[in-house]
Amino acid sequence: MVEHTIPATNAIVTLDVPVTEVIWGWMITLNMWAKSIATGVIFIGAYLLARYGKETGEKVRFYMPVVSFVFLNIFLLFTLLDLHQPFRMLNIFLHPNFTSAITVGAWLATILTGIIFLMTLIVVKPKIVKRKSKAECRLAPYYDTFLKIAVVLAIPVTLYTATIMGEATARELWQTPTELVQMLTAALLCGSAVFLLIGGDFPYAAKRDLAIILGVSAFIAFVVYMGEYYFGHMKAEEVAAVLANVKEGGEYHVLFWIGQWVAFIVPMALVYLSLRSKTSSLLYLASLLAIVGLYVTKHVWLIIPQLLPLS
């Protein structure tokens, strides 16, 4: 239990409803994690195309929309499955309430998925249609235009979950400004990790850039988590109660630190060693750990404020 008692009153709840079970669970974690990968590859893919167009171009132009499309669909699928009335999802478009970040996010994510679908069609069609005359997609000349739109849309799509968390007034731990930073660093972390995993034949300079993005993203995310973990209690009683539960060895204590080590600390060390030795083999492990660890980190941060009794 995460609450405490005042010694002077020695107050004990003797009859109440049980603390509500966790409302947003692993499906929402998966939602956030998949979205980080889907938007991250767009940001990093656009960077690689702009900076290393010729050397990395063909591979990035293919994998960016494909990976993004797969993970956008995982994100949307689990968003839908998490609803208690999934068939009423249409109400978001028929009866939208635009003060809700859920609505704004759903609209933007849908548009982004449409754009990424078209980009995927452009790169996949030539690979699956055998007749050369019909292989090229008629939309191919618009790839770069779609990419620009996708980059712009990916920014609010990756960030809107932070606003949902901010609108979740009952969970004081989630503050919009810090969550915005966490969402952005998560996207950059995942985007760079995905391209390090699939870009074995990229020139070393491109790999070095990706490693630096991975390392810096991990560092910023780690610093923000540590800031909240060690100093968050100063501002709000509820944050203090939630973090005390984790610090005092609650069930999420070990998981929290596993997440921090696997997602941030070890990848940072591996990136440092890799850059020093100018080899890229360690970067595969760093990328894999960062992606897996991020899921754990996000999950712990999602669950712990929900353990707080509200009444």
- Tell me which of 51, 57, 58, 97 binds another protein, using CB under 8 A: 97
Q: Distance between CA atoms of 166 and 176, rounded to whole angstroms? A: 5
Q: Distance between CA atoms of 81 and 203, rounded to whole angstroms? A: 41
Distances (CA, A) of 145 to 15, 37, 152, 218, 310: 61, 22, 11, 31, 48
Chain-centre distance for alpha carbon 202: 25
Site string for another protein, 215-254 (x = CB under 8 A): ----------------------xx--x-------------
Q: Distance between CA atoms of 297 and 264, rounded to whole angstroms? A: 10
Site string for another protein, 257-296 (x = CB under 8 A): ----------------------------------------
Q: Distance between CA atoms of 51 and 56, rounded to whole angstroms? A: 9
- Tell me which of 66, 70, 74, 102 binds another protein, using CB under 8 A: 102
| Minimum gap (Å) between residue 79 Cβ and another protein | 9
Count, residues near another protein per rule CB under 8 A: 52
- Tell me which of 72, 101, 122, 147 binds another protein, using CB under 8 A: 101
Q: Distance between CA atoms of 152 and 150, rounded to whole angstroms? A: 5
| Minimum gap (Å) between residue 4 Cβ and another protein | 7
- 10 counts as binding another protein under rule CB under 8 A: yes
**CB contact at 8 A, 270 and 285:** yes
Site for another protein in 103-122 (CB under 8 A): 103, 106
Q: In terms of CB distance, is 99 or 281 closer to another protein?
A: 99
Stretch of residues binding another protein (CB under 8 A), selected from 2-10, 53-61, 118-126, 223-231: 2-10
Nearest to 116 by CA among 77, 92, 143: 143
Q: In terms of CB distance, is 283 or 307 closer to another protein?
A: 307
- 11 counts as binding another protein under rule CB under 8 A: yes
Site for another protein in 14-53 (CB under 8 A): 14-20, 23-24
Nearest to 156 by CA among 217, 108, 96, 107: 108
Q: Distance between CA atoms of 56 and 77, rounded to whole angstroms? A: 31
Tokens of 228: 């909240």
Tell me, what DSSP letter sits at residue 92? Answer: H
Site string for another protein, 69-88 (x = CB under 8 A): ------------xxxxxx-x
Q: How many CA atoms lie within 13 A of 4 on its CB side?
A: 13
Q: Which residues form the interface with another protein (CB under 8 A)?
A: 1, 3-6, 9-20, 23-24, 81-86, 88-89, 91-92, 95-97, 99-103, 106, 164, 167-171, 237-238, 241, 306, 308-311
